[in-house]
Chain A
Amino acid sequence: MSKQFQFKLVLLGESAVGKSSLVLRFVKDQFDDYRESTIGAAFLTQTVTLDDQTIVKFEIWDTAGQERYKAPMYYRNANCAVVVYDITQASSLDKARTWIRELQRQADPSIVIALCGNKTDLTARRQITQEEAKKYADEEGLMWFETSAKTGEGVSEVFTAIAKKLPLSAPSSRTNAARGTAAARQGVDLNRQTTTQGSNEACNC
């Protein structure tokens, strides 16, 4: 039987760089040209099967428009992060640098970070060169990719590469796995239906 691992992945990046579109492409292979700011679906899961049949399940947290005012809960127990910038907006890479600094300060030190330049379908309007972004990623020890959520180019590669880089052998990778499934929980499960209501209550004396 193949092994399955679950990880929490957080998305970061300036508004409108295509964070949600990237996830929508990865999870549902869809793209919406006029996608409004994220509403309603900011908690998605998708699995990646590696060559050795290991299954890596990502629990993906979108910022849900809370870019500026994220709660500490957002970073908590994140195993990996995709920091997105828009290759046609020079300022979006500066913003990405800010998020990366914040991750390095707030998140678990073992977090795997991928820097991702989105919108390669708009290459005529490119403002950020591959060399510039690659150099920065190398300096900070980050993985680096370019993608187009619109055409799908490079998208699945990002997640597969992250899956390969995550510490699948470490026993802690499971217990550190994201919240969300009852199996991953160590504590009490509130969703568990109680069978002890009413007349079946244990006597208290």
Chain B
Amino acid sequence: MDEEYDVIVLGTGLTECILSGLLSVDGKKVLHMDRNDYYGGDSASLNLTQLYRKFRPNQTPPADLGRDRDYAVDLIPKFIIASGELTKILVHTDVTRYLEFKQIAGSFVYRDGRISKVPSTELEAVKSPLMGLFEKRRAKKFFEFLQGWRDEDPVTHQGNAFVNSGINLDTDSMKAVYEKFGLEPGTQDFIGHAMALYLDDDYIDKPARPTYDRIVLYTSSMARYGKSPYIYPLYGLGELPQSFARLSAIYGGTYMLDKKIDEIITDADGKFVGVRSGTETVKAKQVIGDPSYFGAGAEVGDGGRLRVIEEKRVIRAICILKHPIPGTDGSDSVQIVIPQNQVNRRNGEYLDLQHTLIPDLELDIYIAMVSSTHNVCAKDVYVAIVSTIVETSKPELEIQPGLQLLGSIYEKFVTVSPLYMPLSTGEADNIFITRSYDATSHFETVVDDVKDVWGRVTGKDLVLKQRNPEEAEQQE
């Protein structure tokens, strides 16, 4: 290990693997290490043996769950939004040749005590119980306005006859836009939470532009394949980091798994020198890694230096079911958004064991479910993950409204994970730390982090290059 590298990458989560792949293609000499003997870190997908080893170390997986090798259970619940940035990276780097994707069958929202499909076509909208007759007309005008919007064409800013003055997406609040179209609070709720995918209502008083962008991302993704805005890789999300690791390896990246990282070595000025594993030391100009390699969770960071802080915590309950989620038309895969407004505790129906009222919560609960259609579990098994950002000291009670929608739960594995963020940009010490996987339902923030770290590591913007044309030719 006495070679010197351009970049050492620690952890084989998706963020690190995309960076490792892109840096290798860019000609950097990369060493990629992981303390685990499998790829994927926090974004791995586990087989039954690995899953039970992690959550039930003293228990063997029950025989009626079927074959170990049929399972690839994700640790974080995310889907790929079809027209999003991750799709662009997958296509441009050509790692799609290692992967197969299927659609997620449905996108649902919880409203007035039941699950309803988020309407995606006019026909679905007409039948949707989410809106009354007049509200449907108003919503139609609203979507036509969004669809017709052109920054350079003021005529499109007028919206329609209901709107007297032009809308400015950059200065008008989203609240003002909703009001101009006269949309009811319930409609605002499903647009903001199930389509723009905001976790709370803070967006309403902010300029409308980001919300507009999010709704357009949702509807264009929806239009791309039809059933839902999401796609999903066969054999689980863990395939994604593996495919980028292969990209890196093909471009000369060196892989070392099952390698304990004992120390991040810095010089007198605190600048990165190398990493130590046992008695071996390997040097590089820069290091990139996930927070767990830089003191996350430790009392003080590595070498007494605090490099990452806990921002929030997320609770995720991986639930194994023997049936599809009730009320979803037997869908083989779904996302269900439960806007917090729909389940708030104002009536006091949720009491904890000491019969104290749980305070009102603000953040939405998500359910993501996949099944054997996606080659992640045995036939007739369904894997749902219920998650939310933790707001109280009793996180499991916070996801109760989500768990209740699942019907009987065969097995449940609950984690409460801190979300870490780096304290510095890394430009001063050449130590670049990625962020934990957040509570959003897709990978857009992961790609934001990739671009951000790329910019700081290389000093330039990320421009996606096509791979070697000779290989493209080989592929026909």
- Spell out A's residues near B (CB within 8 Å): 27, 37-45, 63-66, 68-69, 71-74, 76, 179-181, 185-188, 190-191, 194, 196-197, 199, 201-205
- When distances are taken between beta carbons in the complex, the residues of chain A under 8 Å from B257 are 68-69
Contact: A65 with B143, CB < 8 Å? no
Partner of B250, one of A38, A191, A203, A205: A38
Contact: B251 with A39, CB < 8 Å? yes
Query: Using a CB-CB cutoff of 8 Å, which residues 209-267 of chain B contact chain A?
Result: 215-216, 218-220, 222-225, 231, 234-235, 239, 242-243, 245-246, 249-258
Partner of B98, one of A45, A179, A191, A201: A179
Distance in angstroms from B412 CB to nearest chain A CB is 26
Contact: A45 with B251, CB < 8 Å? no
Q: List 21 A-B contacts (CB under 8 A).
A: A39-B252, A40-B250, A40-B252, A41-B468, A41-B470, A42-B246, A66-B245, A66-B255, A68-B257, A69-B257, A71-B245, A73-B98, A73-B243, A179-B99, A181-B475, A187-B100, A188-B101, A188-B102, A188-B103, A190-B96, A205-B122
Q: Is B90 positioned at the interface, with any CB of A under 8 Å from its CB?
A: yes
Contact: A45 with B474, CB < 8 Å? yes
- Spell out B's residues near A (CB within 8 Å): 38-39, 82-83, 87, 90-91, 96-103, 119-122, 125, 136, 139-140, 142-144, 147-148, 195, 215-216, 218-220, 222-225, 231, 234-235, 239, 242-243, 245-246, 249-258, 468, 470-471, 474-476
- When distances are taken between beta carbons in the complex, the residues of chain B under 8 Å from A197 are 83, 220
Distance in angstroms from A126 CB to nearest chain B CB is 31
Docked Cα-Cα span, A185 to B255, in Å, equals 29
A41 and chain B: residue at smallest CB distance: B471
Contact: A64 with B100, CB < 8 Å? no
Docked Cα-Cα span, A69 to B254, in Å, equals 10
Distance in angstroms from B208 CB to nearest chain A CB is 17
Contact: A64 with B250, CB < 8 Å? yes
Partner of A204, one of B148, B219, B245, B471: B219
Known: A64-B249, A188-B225. A203 touches B96 (CB 8 A): no
Docked Cα-Cα span, A197 to B231, in Å, equals 17
Contact: A205 with B96, CB < 8 Å? no
Contact: A203 with B143, CB < 8 Å? yes
Partner of B91, one of A39, A73, A191: A191
Known: A69-B256, A69-B257, A196-B220. A191 touches B147 (CB 8 A): no
Docked Cα-Cα span, A42 to B99, in Å, equals 16
- When distances are taken between beta carbons in the complex, the residues of chain B under 8 Å from A191 are 91, 96
Docked Cα-Cα span, A162 to B91, in Å, equals 32
